[in-house]
Every structure is written in structure tokens, then in C-alpha cells.
Structure 1
């Protein structure tokens, strides 16, 4: 294994794995830290963790354990992947994990670049944009677990890290890899260890990847991987895929603007049932109820808790943020178990990073084989001989994403 990747969620990790696979690398996504060695033909290993919203100390512990496993596989470079909207709080977890990995690898300068232009995320003058809106005006300011209220990644990261935060502006990035190397060295000379790097285009990410060829640690969104396969002598190649017949369903726990629009469109055309958070927490609605309802439907049924941010806030105020999140994640995991084990469902599309992680853990999946891209940031994944899945971060995908995802999973596209 040459490139080792540590992801803080399952959706972004699958996107990262897809990006590397399209670049020609032989990739496996591991669901948690493996308990044995990787196959010898694996060139890039993506260890997907569920560390985005847990206590920072535990996120650091798990990430360092993943690092130990990846280094034992012979990895020459480590990539720490987080969300392209930099989902975090002033306490972490991006800063603490990046600090710990940098110290463990003795990395003197570390790229920080959550940009993903293909999904509308760009960094300019250190500020993160979602399409043409600043991060804190994109809907991410209403995120139920990690509300993003400041678009200046330098300032947001500075609150989380024990190191000084530097910046490589777009003008240096546009000038190419050589200039980026010089700019990184200059920022390091000024005492900065974590260095935010602007990127507005895929070409910028390619240039950053080339400039980072000799760095022991890179951090960023999945887009940062666009330029990495070439550093290992790989060339782009089609990703093979065989669709899965049978029945499909959708589970959505994301409250993002994009997902709520997708839910509204799908509900107008297919069976759909809302999952009120209060009913789950109070025990008035069970996972068996929802699983039985899904299995009784024709077409492509959707079960969702993707409520308006104001409603989410009311539930959190009433029951507590952690209680609400834990209850819904466990609920979706149990629904998925019942659908797959008892109902014979073979295709599952999941919306929401935390929801996806809970479902994958609930199904006790060890690794995922990477398939073709459904939409920017979302690949098809084979979870077993009779199960394929799609894991979608909240703000990814067009309004018809759910239909398209199931069509790709089935082999219809």
C-alpha cells in the first residue's frame, strides 16, 4: 500500500476512494480499522471512521490507531480527509486530529484544502464558498451538529489547533506546482505548520497534489486527491461495475438544503414517509414500523427525518442535541438491518454523513468495493455479493439524485 487515507466519515471516504480509483489506483475502503493486513495489490487504502462529531480526544485516538495500521501496510504518504464544508466546531475535530497526525509523522508543513470544485466548494483568500455563497450563507450555518458560522477557514481552524495557521493565496496556486512549493516553504519559515491553500478549479487541485508529492501528510476534502494518483505513476482508468437486481429503498437523515429539495421531489413521485424525531426518541415509532412500511411499498420508497432546521432545533432544545442525534442514528441503523437481513433488500441509498456511518456500522460491513460515480462526490459501492449502497453527504447531488442513484446501483445507467 502506497497511499494511506483516514476519513472522518463514511460518505466523504467513499468519494475519496472513488476519486483515487478514477485516477487509476487500486483502492479499498475499510469500514473502521481492519484487524488484519491489507491485500498486497491494494495501492491506496481508505480507513473510514465516524469521528466528525465525537469528543476530540476520542477522534484523535481513533485517527492515530488508523495511522498505525496504515503505516504498518507500508504507506508512503498519509491523507486526512474531512468534509468539503469543513464541518467542525471551535473545539474540533479537524484541528486536533491534524495536529496529532502532523506530530506523529513529524510533518513540518501540512496542506489544509477542503475545496471540491466539482461539487461547488472553493477556497479563495482563505474563505470557503459553496457555489456562489460564503459557507456561512449556504445553509451550513444551520447544521444540527456542526453549524458553520464563519467562512474564513484560517480563523475557524485557528481556534482548533495548537499551531499557527498560514495561507497560500490563489495567485501562487495559479502559478503552478513550483510556486506552491515555494509558498509552502515561505509559510513554514514564518512559523506556520497548518497552511490553508486556495483552490477554485480542478486544475488547482492537480497543481496542489503535485506540489505535495513529498509531504508526509496532506489534509483536505476528497477533492484534494485529484492530483495524487499521478504522483504514484497511475493513470486514469474506467471503474468497473456490475449492477444489482432486486429491491431498492432510500433512507435520509440529512437536513441540508439540497437533501430537503431531493426529498420533496422524490416524495412527489414515490412512496415517502417522514420520521418525526420526537416520536423516535419517545418510543412511539419503531424501526420495525418503518422497515415494514418500506417493504410493503412498490417502486422506490423513501423514509426520511430531513426536517426544516427550525423543527430540528425544537427537537434538540427539547431532548438535547446528543440525545436526538444518537436516537435517530441508531434508529436508521436498525431500519437498515431489518431491510437487508429480514426483507432481502439489495440496494440502499443513504443521505447524510452521520446517518451513512451509523447504517454502515449497523450492518457490520468491513469494506466497500468502489464503483462508478453517481454524482460528483458520490460513487456506487458494493457492500457484499447481494448488497450495493450509495452514501451521500447532505449537500451533494441534484434534485433527482435518489432516482439516479438507484438506477446506477441497479446497473440501469
Structure 2
């Protein structure tokens, strides 16, 4: 494999449990000078990737835990074959999971496969730039606990406990400990000492407190020799510097460079999060939008064709096509269709619309929601993405390596209220 790192291969191999989380992590690495490629699923091993870091984007957050483990282990095997030196399991900064998993089972399986079962494995979803912090093992979103942030209403992974030590312990057979903030604030050696103490106490995992980016740099430095790190994208802030200190990563000024993409722009929104609801409302106040009604789709109405006709009638002006709804509206649909069926119907509908938009000359897509993003990139047959500059914290602009498509894949909870317009403008679309 050709690669520009000192020793001719990628340094960091990452496995993300959804597509927007993958771009979030990749954006963090690019900002810190690592040339990063995101693959959509496990790629063809025969194709070389010119990168310092590779992020394999899976769609494993809400599938059965056993399937998530199998997909993650397959991704790990591929990344190991590429020569990666360290591995990162990325999940959401709101620790999206259920009591059955999938964070704990996947982390345990990856640790076992890497021979790291005797090494303490950290779990740190903190992302202070986006308001996610951990103190005394409790996850905050802004000024409120996780279970009061709106995440308690998530249709697939409702988070009703802010104590993530307790949440992770419910998903793992290994003992879970805590590295407290007072230990983190004393520096990397203090954190390493805390790791050793927890390991001697029989812990396999440790939640690590963090309330600032400085804390994440400390934690990253403390994990320089760890085979496996798990967390949100924030804790990756400190990893590139480890490789530089080891003489493996040169300074880069071109890590965020992307090919230029033409064509029309569009916004597709499937997330029901508070942030996306606000972004949809902001767009709808002044710009054209089309609502996808899942119940109308279920009745057999030609919603896809109607959405495409709506978009066509407004070209070249960008439009929003959305299935975003309030928690009460989501519950009403789920009550009639079931949780899984409702989610799959929305994803399938938006992915079919995305394919139709491609035929209309749309080449620049803003997509809101992790599950929606996964469905859309698969429908567009995207296999890899180069990661460019940040639009908002956790969300970069990306491009396919052939320069055919631009995509901004946004986690439901991320982005400013005017994110849709901001993202399109960064792609060069007139809004």
C-alpha cells in the first residue's frame, strides 16, 4: 500500500459504528494533521489508500449486538492487514446504546482480538466543543445530564441514565472503573498511574472524565501505548501528537485538501433530534422544503416521485427534503408501524430520493442523521470519502476520491441552527 507516513503505511485504524460518527472522527484527525480516508464499510483490500489514518464506517450502532461484533471484528482484521499500529473504536458522544449493547460487546471483542484483554481499555465519549463532558462518570450535554438532554426520547437508543460507568457495566462482563477529573487534571503520568491502579483492582474498562480539550490531549498522551482506545471523536485529539513524538508522522498543511465538485445541492434530513428539528425549522422559514410522511409511504402513495418532482421544479435552487419530526410525532408513527419498521421505511425512502436526485444532476448532499447518512451513501454507492475542512464541530465537508460527489454527513445532534445553509455554501452552492 502506498502511503505518505514515514514507514509507508497507515498509523491509526478506526472503526466507527455509524457513518456520521466516522466523518466526525475523521474530521478531528484531519484538523490535527493526519491525512484521513473514510471507507464505507470494509473496502476492497486490493485498493491502496494514501492515508495516515483510515476510518471504516459501519452501520452497526443499532443492529443486533452479535452482528455488530462480527462486523467490527471483520473491520479490525482488514485494518490490521493494512499495517495500522493503533486502533480506535468510535461511538457517539452521547454514548448511544441499549442495556444489551452495542458499545460494551464490541469493545470486549476488539480487545480480545488485539490481545489487549490484560490492558485497561478506556471509554471516553467526551466532546467539549459540542457540549459533551464527563464528570465523576456522568455524561453531560451542555448544562444538563444526558438523561435530561432529549436523548431520553431517542427512538432507537433512548439514554435514560447519565452514569456511563453504570451503563457500560450493564453491557460488559469485565469490571468498569473511573478515572476521575482530579486525576486527569494532574497530567498524563497521573492518568497512567490511575490506569495501573484500576487494572490492579481487576478493571478491564475505565470511563475517563474530561471537561475540556486540554483534558482530551492529556488522555490521548496517556494512551500512546494502548493497542485499543474507545470513545467519541474528542479523545482522538491527542493521538496525532503521539505519532509525531515517535517520529512516525510529519507536519502537514494539506491534510484537508479536496477535489472540486460541481452540480446541484440538496439537503436530506431523517434525524428526529432537537438540533435537526431546529435546523429544519430554520430552513423552512425562508426556503423550499418537502416533507416525507412515513404513513403516506406506507399507504403506497408516490412520495418518492413527488419529492423528486418538487426538487426538479426548484432546480438549481437547493431544497430540503425531510422526514424529521417531533418526539410525539415519531411515537405516533412508531405506534402504527413499529419502531424498526418506521426507521427502515424512512431510510429506504430517503435513499431512493437520493438516487433520483443524482439522476437530476445533484452532486452535493447535506444529510442529517446517522442512520439516514448510512442509507444515503450506500444508495449512492459511495465506497470511500476524503475528509476536508470542518463545517461545524464534528462535521466536515467530504468528497469522493474521483471528485464526483460532495457530502456533509451530520449526526442528528450536531451543527448550528443554520447548518444546512452553511454546509451548502462551503460546498460552493448558492443559497
Task: Give ranges in structure 2 of 5+ residues lacking alignment.
Answer: 1-9
User: Deviation at 1:314?
Assistant: 1.1
1:228 and 2:239 are equivalent in the alignment:
yes
Structure 1 residue aligned with 2:7: none
Q: Which residue of 2 aligns with 1:244?
A: 261
Q: Does 1:85 align with 2:107?
A: no
User: Offset of 1:37 from its aligned partner?
Assistant: 4.0
Q: 1:20 to 1:301 in 2, by over 3 A?
A: same
TM-score of the superposition, structure 2-length normalised? 0.93
Shift of 1:411: 7.3
Cα distance between partner residues in 2 of 1:24 and 1:37: 26
- Offset, 1:412: 7.7
Please show how residues 7-406 of structure 1 align to structure 2 within 5 Å.
7-37=16-46, 39=48, 41-107=50-116, 108-233=119-244, 234=249, 235=251, 237=253, 239-241=256-258, 243-298=260-315, 299-340=317-358, 342-383=359-400, 384-406=402-424
Please give the secondary structure, in 1, of the residue aligned with 2:362. coil
Q: Is the 8 A contact 2:37 2:49 kept in 1?
A: no
Mapped partners of 1:200, 1:146: distance in 2:
24
- TM value normalised by structure 1: 0.97
Q: Tell me, what secondary structure is at the counterpart of 2:224?
A: coil
Distance 1:12 1:152, change over 3 A: same
Structure 2 Cα separation of the partners of residues 40 and 159 of structure 1:
38
Between the aligned partners of 1:10 and 1:146, the Cα distance in structure 2 is: 16
> Counterparts of 2:149 and 2:300 in 1: how far apart (Å)?
34
On the 8 A contact 1:22/1:236 being kept in 2, the answer is no
Q: Which runs of 5+ in 1 are unaligned?
A: none
The 1-side partners of 2:225 and 2:423 are apart by: 37
CA shift, 1:242, in A, is 5.1
SS at match of 1:193: strand
Could you tell me how far apart the structure 2 residues matched to 1:67 and 1:309 are?
A: 36
- Matched residues in 2 for 1:128 and 1:138: separation? 10
How big is the shift at 1:232? 1.0
SS class of match (2:407): strand
Q: Secondary structure at the match of 1:410?
A: coil
How far apart in 1 are the matches of 2:225 and 2:104? 22
1:267, CA displacement in angstroms? 0.2
Deviates more, 1:38-47 or 1:191-200: 38-47
